[in-house]
Amino acid sequence: MVFPRIPLARVSHLHSTTLFPFLPLLLSSSPMASRSLLPFPSLTSIATVSAAQSQDLSTSSLPSPSHKAENRWKPMCLYFTQGKCTMIDDPMHLEKFNHNCSWDLQVDAALLNRIRPQNLDYFLVLDLEGKIEILEFPVVMIDAKNMEVVDFFHRFVRPSQMSEQKINEYIEGKYGKFGVDRVWHDTAIPFTDVVHQFEAWLAEHQLWQRELGGSLNRAAFVTCGNWDLKTKVPQQCKVSSMRLPSYFMEWINLKDAYLNFYKRRATGMVTMMKELRLPLLGSHHLGLDDTKNISRVLQRMLADGAVVQITARRNPNIPEEVNFLFKDRIR
């Protein structure tokens, strides 16, 4: 099976003037202890690496890895996903970490003629992490016409209502087992800042405009269940003393879409992947990895001819009230 080369997903770099450049996970010493403070653009400025520039980065300016290394799965550099990797030209770092979000989401060109016209242009696959407060906010943007990765957004989120001791215990238990607790501590920012940066990312892709408000422009969130947007985001907004953004008013629960298309129940991502014979890549319950695996389920459904539609919508007058649009759904 031959796969076409798909351009590296574009990466939006959003920095505040108080951030240090961070070293990748492999270094044993603290990146902030070994670097002096450097100036960064303001929070609202966006320096975007174009798809073509990113492709050049992965093929010309970076050391060429071996053919074997190119074909084995590698974890994403979680500093890179947040625009903070400073070792992009280090061969040893590149050997251990992936810097191309679309690498394991490539599409077989032979499947493209099986895709049916969709009612949306883009799917924003989202899988939040954090039971007490949101700890991770990852989004993968999928083109509905060709299933390709257009871009991604990834931020670790620092709780606002927890003591430092409680945060340390919480993060060690949640992310320590994945070996990414240090990168979380280095990069996590408050939820209000994450939302601000995410809205700039949405505007960059012309998916939403603050001035106009309202829902997304021909795009929809895709989640594995209703919990993320029905329950957790509203809870976090209350904790963070902010209004629920208008673009969180509707979404696609992939469990319901899966049930109505394949006519069989799947209670979660792992079940769907097993039934579709898709291997689980990365660490389950690491938000970015789960988001990419959910994206692979979505890609498979599109390739099988599914028309993926909105499954849940809030009452605009009573946001707490959610209308579920499919009669057959996972409860």
**Catalytic residues, which ones?**
129, 285
Cα Rg, the chain, nearest whole Å: 19
- Cβ atoms of 78 and 282 within 8 Å: the answer is no
CB atoms under 10 Å from CB of 227, counted, come to: 12
Give the H or E element holding residue 95.
Answer: helix 91-96
What is the rounded CA–CA span in Å between residue 194 and residue 104?
Answer: 26
Short-list 275, 268, 235, 263, CA closest to 253: 268
User: Sign (positive/negative) of CA torsion 102, 54, 180, 140?
Assistant: negative
- Cβ atoms of 25 and 77 within 8 Å: the answer is yes
Residues with Cβ < 8 Å from 270, sequence gap 6 or more?
280, 284
Short-list 201, 316, 325, CA closest to 259: 325
CB atoms under 10 Å from CB of 72, counted, come to: 9
Reduced DSSP (H G I as helix, E B as strand, rest coil) percent helix, strand, coil of the chain, to 5: 35, 15, 45
User: Sign (positive/negative) of CA torsion 129, 135, 140, 144?
Assistant: positive
Q: Which residues of 124-135 are buried (b: 16+ CB within 10 A; e: fewer)?
A: bbbbbbbeebbb
